[in-house]
Chains A and B, each alone.
Chain A
Amino acid sequence: MEIQDLDRIRFVTQRFGDLQGLRHLVPLGLLLLSGAGAAWLASWPLVLLQAVSFSGAFALMLGARRYYRSTFGEVEGSRVRPAAQVYSLSILSTAGPAPQIEPALPVSQRCMLALALIPPILLLFTFLFWPPWITMESDVIVDPEWHNMLTFSLLKTVVPQMIYPLCGSFFLGIWWLRQRRLSQSYHLAMGVLLSGLFILQPTAAHLGVALLVCGASMVLAGLLDHWQLVQVLGRGQED
């Protein structure tokens, strides 16, 4: 029994719910993909894709929970506060100091918190990173009075560009909360890439493209989370 094994046991137990990619990230990614299909309603095959993605997301959300419970069991969680992780170089860290355990926020409260944060983050990005190269139709904006610029065509250009850093922040947040572990570095990579895509030429910032890229990233991240869980929990030994 290696120390790394104990560390892995502890991490997977703490994050058992979060690592269930088929329950969370994959359905969320499918919802974004269905939104991408909605942005391109010109052809019916894409409408069909939209419908399949949308219904697939809900089916997965309902069925995946039962799958994880019957295949890997259940954990009723509590987490060690991040402060407890300061002993990462110490052998003590593999068990973690128990008195610092606090109850985790229920999933519903976490979702509400995340939704509440979206509008201020969008506004923050809009005002901090107001790209000077935004075009309205084919014209370059030179008028500094921003309130004259709030047209639908402008929003169509700005909103897709904002989706990239929003999604990128989401992945960076996951990577940070999962203790910046090497095994979670795919979240870091996606976070950096998507945040970097913010600096796009406006013609490439189509809403459908943004939703497609972000949706596909979430599906990929969810599948990688699920794969990690399967690798660690694997198949139990038979008697």
Chain B
Amino acid sequence: MRVTPFEQLANLDRRVHDPARLSILTALSACERADFLFLQRITGLTKGNLSSHLSKLEEAGLVETEKRFVNKKTQTLVRLTGEGRETIESYWREIQELRKSATSWQTHMSVPEPVPG
């Protein structure tokens, strides 16, 4: 049975399908590691918000955090795990499929039904 775009949308990975987490994962996918301050600046999130999203992503196994001391201050470094990289790639593939599916669905719905008789 053909899956509708709406069902595909509902099946998107909710760990990724969130504006804040998507921007965090997009930034991390473009580098090896980034520190907390950079992620806060690039995403525009507050410290509390960013910490919360990073915790969720770490619980889901998508990111890893590492703390180190630089000039007597704690620096938190974040990187994508292997699963995290696969997940974000898979997410974009699904979005691509969803886009095609939505376009063909729209075409299908715009064809007028034949008049009986």
- A sample of 20 inter-chain contacts (CB < 8 A) reads A1-B23, A12-B42, A13-B27, A13-B34, A13-B42, A14-B30, A72-B37, A73-B40, A74-B77, A75-B31, A91-B92, A92-B95, A95-B26, A98-B89, A233-B38, A236-B44, A237-B44, A237-B45, A239-B47, A239-B48
Beta-carbon nearest neighbor of B25 in chain A: A95
Q: Number of contacts between A and B (CB, 8 Å)?
A: 111
Give the docked Cα–Cα distance between A91 and B34 (Å).
24
Chain A: minimal CB distance from B45 (Å)? 7
Residues on A lying within 8 angstroms of B by beta carbon are 1, 5-6, 9-14, 16, 72-78, 80, 90-92, 94-99, 103, 232-234, 236-239
Contact between B38 and A238, CB atoms less than 8 A apart: no
For A5, list chain B residues within 8 Å (CB): 23
For B19, list chain A residues within 8 Å (CB): 1
Segment 58-78 of B: residues with Cβ below 8 Å from A: 75, 77
Give the docked Cα–Cα distance between A103 and B75 (Å).
23
Residues on B lying within 8 angstroms of A by beta carbon are 19, 22-23, 25-27, 29-49, 75, 77, 80, 85-86, 88-89, 91-93, 95-96, 99
Contact between A9 and B43, CB atoms less than 8 A apart: yes
For B46, list chain A residues within 8 Å (CB): 236-239
Contact between A14 and B42, CB atoms less than 8 A apart: no
Give the docked Cα–Cα distance between A10 and B26 (Å).
6
Give the docked Cα–Cα distance between A239 and B45 (Å).
9
If the complex has contacts A6-B26, A10-B26, A10-B27, are A92 and B93 also in contact, measured as CB distance less than 8 A? yes
If the complex has contacts A1-B19, A6-B23, A239-B47, are A73 and B41 also in contact, measured as CB distance less than 8 A? yes
For A13, list chain B residues within 8 Å (CB): 27, 30-31, 34, 38, 42
Chain B: minimal CB distance from A127 (Å)? 41
Contact between A73 and B37, CB atoms less than 8 A apart: yes
For A232, list chain B residues within 8 Å (CB): 42
For A94, list chain B residues within 8 Å (CB): 26, 92
For A72, list chain B residues within 8 Å (CB): 37-38, 41
Give the docked Cα–Cα distance between A11 and B26 (Å).
10
Give the docked Cα–Cα distance between A159 and B26 (Å).
46
Q: Contact check: which of A11, A95, A233 meets B41 at CB < 8 Å?
A: A233
Chain B: minimal CB distance from A144 (Å)? 54
Give the docked Cα–Cα distance between A109 and B77 (Å).
25
Contact between A96 and B30, CB atoms less than 8 A apart: yes
For A237, list chain B residues within 8 Å (CB): 40, 44-46, 49
Give the docked Cα–Cα distance between A197 and B6 (Å).
58
Give the docked Cα–Cα distance between A94 and B89 (Å).
10
